[in-house]
Amino acid sequence: MSITPRHPGEGPDVAVEAAAPTRGNGNGLPSAVAAARAAGQSAQHRQRWLPWVKAVVFLFALSPGLRLVAYGVMDRLGANPVEFITRSTGTWTLVMLCITLAITPMRRLSGMVWLLRLRRMLGLFACCYGVLHFATYVWLDQWFDWASILHDVSGKRPFITVGFTAFVLMVALALTSPHAVVRRMGGRRWQRLHRLIYAIAVLAILHYWWMKAGKNDLAQPAIYAIVVASLLGARVLWALRRRRAQTLAGSSRSPAKSDSTVSRSRTR
């Protein structure tokens, strides 16, 4: 998700990677590398405030968990504390998922590339709330009755089957989010795997929808469904536009060149 590290192809390091070592600059450094390093350093200098933004976002993401703990301590979890905790953690898993999904569109619309630096943290928070949600179900709701849990997950309660599928995928994305794993997997494979965040969001909506459909109360799931559909729709639209631009660029080049462009774009 993104539960994501830096998007391959974005962020200050890219300039360094993209710079081809050419002629020296007298200091023993290839000039292009030196220029790219200087650009990276000035970007870092300009973004000295980023750790503060990260700290604020971290506290914001932590606050629903802290609120639950405070309510528990003050005995304010209501008449049915298990239901309160299950619903609260479920809601925050979904909210964090939506915010994580919104980062890329917000970056594209605003041009604020630094937003991508928040994505991995937000994705991991989504996963943490998912783990709390699942743990509440297994522990406080089912009291580790594995037979009953297996029944629910394997189809007796379809909304739980769907939620569990989303949860397993989300954990897979969280486990592959460290930089070391990205390097080992390779950017392209990693990116392909992390597109699963869209499938996770759709499954999460289905889980919520199914659960509320039994109670004839679809207003809130409908709002989340619209948000996720818009975020997904924007991505699809941009992908289609990019493909069209690539095709147009390919057809305006020489036949030999356009062949290689097409075969390259197919591997993306």
| Site residues, ligand HEM (CB under 6 A) | 83, 86-87, 90-91, 93-94, 130, 133-134, 137, 153, 160, 163-164, 166-167, 170, 200, 204, 207-208, 211
Residue whose pair of structure tokens reads 């029944």 in the numeric block: 151
Q: Pick between residue 195 and residue 268 the one whose CB is nearest to ligand HEM.
A: 195
- State the minimum distance, in angstroms, from the CB of residue 34 to ligand HEM: 46
- The minimum distance between CB 5 and ligand HEM, in angstroms, equals 20
Instruction: Provide, rounded to whole angstroms, the least separation between the CB of residue 107 and ligand HEM.
Output: 23
- How far, in Å, CA of 235 to CA of 232, rounded? 5
Cβ-contact 167, 1 below 8 angstroms: no
Closest separation between CB of residue 209 and ligand HEM, Å?
10
- Please report how close the Cβ of residue 108 comes to ligand HEM at its closest, in angstroms: 25
Residue 36 or residue 173: which is nearer to ligand HEM going by CB?
Answer: 173
Task: Name the 3-class secondary structure at 24.
Answer: strand
Residue 2 beta carbon to ligand HEM: minimum distance, rounded to whole angstroms: 15
| Helix ranges restricted to H, the chain | 13-18, 31-46, 50-73, 81-110, 119-136, 146-151, 158-175, 179-185, 187-194, 196-213, 219-252, 255-266
Nearer to ligand HEM, 12 or 90 (CB): 90
**Nearest-10 crossing angle of helices 187-194, 158-175:** 160
Which lies closer to ligand HEM via its Cβ, residue 53 or residue 141? Answer: 141
Q: Which is nearer to ligand HEM, 95 or 103 (CB)?
A: 95
Q: Hey, what are 6's tokens?
A: 């830096």
**Residue nearest ligand HEM by beta-carbon distance:** 90
Q: Are 142 and 149 in contact (CB under 8 A)?
A: yes
Nearer to ligand HEM, 19 or 101 (CB): 101
In DSSP terms, which residues pair with 24 in a beta bridge?
30
